[in-house]
A and B are shown apart, each in its own frame.
Chain A
Amino acid sequence: MSWLSQALSSSLGKKLLMAMTGLFLIVFLIGHLLGNMLLFKDDGGQAFNEYAKFMTTTPAVLVLSILTYISIIAHVIYSIIITIHNRKSRPVQYAVSNASANSVWTSRSMGVLGTLVLIFIVIHLKSFWFEMKFGSVPIVAYDSGSIKNLYLIVVEAFSQSWYVAFYVIAMMVLAFHLSHGFKSAFQTLGLAHIKYTPLIKTIGTAFAIIVPTLFASMPIYMYMKFHGLL
């Protein structure tokens, strides 16, 4: 298997891992978004709480969640390795650089954008994942049984304006990260053809706008609902 380790340690192999983990996380975003859309259901959070129970108790979901954590960690570690290598490739910087003339700023700022997304993920996990798993979440009784009322934690978190603002800004950062990452992943995989590359770029841009917007609409909706603005 030495050919495999050699392939994966080459510059292209590392990029391949970045693309694959990135694409997996893009798929994860779709699932995460669809599930959390239950927050918009006007049933006092029952559907959301039952969904949360399903997500924390189903073995198949556990496997997927482990894959997600591995993807995030691998994506971060490889980005650091690649960035260090890239910095070494240009030990002396240019005195004058007019990079905006030949490339888009998002494509040059993936490291900064990605770091901000990572900070968001850590805080986001602390607020909800950690609370659900180890915190003291109140129990709510439904006909189907008594389960943890994660909905209440969500309502509480998003009743604070600064917290909502943090989420909206984080989703803007995610949008910029995706606007380059989506199409870049396909290019790295070698999937470029005059037939479908324009479509990939269009879908990538649409994805980078729609998905973070829908995510950001959740805290805004919860805030407005809590403060009686709806």
Chain B
Amino acid sequence: MDLTLKIWRQKDSQDRGGFQTHKVSDITPDTSFLEMLDILNDQLEKKNEDPVHFDHDCREGICGACSMYINGRPHGPQQGITTCQLHMRSFKDGDTITIEPWRAQPFPVIKDLIVDRTSFDRIIQAGGYISVGTGGVPDANEIPIPARVSNEAMDAAACIGCGACVAACKNASAMLFVAAKVSHLALLPQGNVEAQERAEKMVEQMDEEGFGSCTNTGACSAECPKGISLEHIARLNREYYFAKQSSDNIPAEDEVHGAG
């Protein structure tokens, strides 16, 4: 198949950037989307042109690196997959494909399609961990955990931090990401001890990074490659409100600064 690619090109974070049109031809339908970009980059390098820069790593849908907004949707037209799992059979011969980087104030473009997602790392650093070593593996059945709870924790833990939720959200909100991280620790006994403070600290960091507010459109969950559900956002809301009422984290009067 022959395709026209409208790709966002931006030299560096200071550059204004703009779309550039590239053509690729003789692409087979079983080529993956990233392989198609590799073919394009081979062409560009042969012509001594700057290849299109994009993030990629595992190419098997578990690392979350391949951030691309393809034809108006994160990770392209299919649901429940990352860009590396997208194949050209999802497109038609002669299609024009628009490829953009994630757009969010806390995700500044580094070059072309690569954005800086360290804001996610800082949210994790703010509270997405368990402070103490949890020791060795306890005896089976020593701490009973209902199957539904452990399943839900595992569903939340499936988050790969790709940022598709932020990219899809009309408000560039990171609520699904933060909710998944809060949920997967809060649901299990080892993480539950710090659940309240964790929710407070991670929300505070999320606000500080400049992510938008959740308006419950559900776009995040619909575009999440791991299908993380909106119930986790409700849990984060709950954890946060209860934390604000009863946690030990009481700010001193002069430390208060509106996160607005």
- Which residues of A does B touch, CB under 8 Å? 2-7, 9-16, 81-82, 85-86, 88-99, 101-104, 107-108, 110, 180, 183-184, 187-194, 197
Question: In whole angstroms, what is the CA distance A99 to B74 when docked?
Answer: 10
Question: In whole angstroms, what is the CA distance A107 to B171 when docked?
Answer: 12
- Among B234, B253, B256, the one with the most A-chain Cβ atoms within 10 Å of its Cβ is B234
A90 to chain B, nearest CB (A): 4
Q: Which residue of B lies closest to A184 (CB)?
A: B216
Partner of B104, one of A2, A89, A197: A89
- Among B6, B213, B233, B253, the one with the most A-chain Cβ atoms within 10 Å of its Cβ is B213
- Among B222, B239, B244, B256, the one with the most A-chain Cβ atoms within 10 Å of its Cβ is B244
Interface size on B, residues (CB 8 A): 56
Once the chains bind, are A99 and B213 in contact (CB under 8 Å)?
no
Once the chains bind, are A107 and B215 in contact (CB under 8 Å)?
yes
Q: Provided the pairs A98-B71, A188-B216 are in contact, do residues A6 and B168 lie with their beta carbons within 8 angstroms?
A: no
Once the chains bind, are A95 and B259 in contact (CB under 8 Å)?
no
- Which residues of B does A touch, CB under 8 Å? 6, 8, 19, 69, 71-73, 77, 98, 100, 103-106, 168, 170-173, 203-204, 206-207, 210-219, 222-223, 230-231, 233-241, 244, 250-253, 255-256, 258-260
Once the chains bind, are A11 and B207 in contact (CB under 8 Å)?
yes
Closest 9 CB pairs of A and B: A98-B72, A190-B238, A192-B234, A89-B212, A190-B237, A86-B171, A102-B222, A7-B244, A9-B258
Q: Which residue of B lies closest to A106 (CB)?
A: B217
- Among B106, B252, B256, the one with the most A-chain Cβ atoms within 10 Å of its Cβ is B256
Partner of A95, one of B77, B100, B253, B256: B100
Partner of A82, one of B73, B77, B213: B213
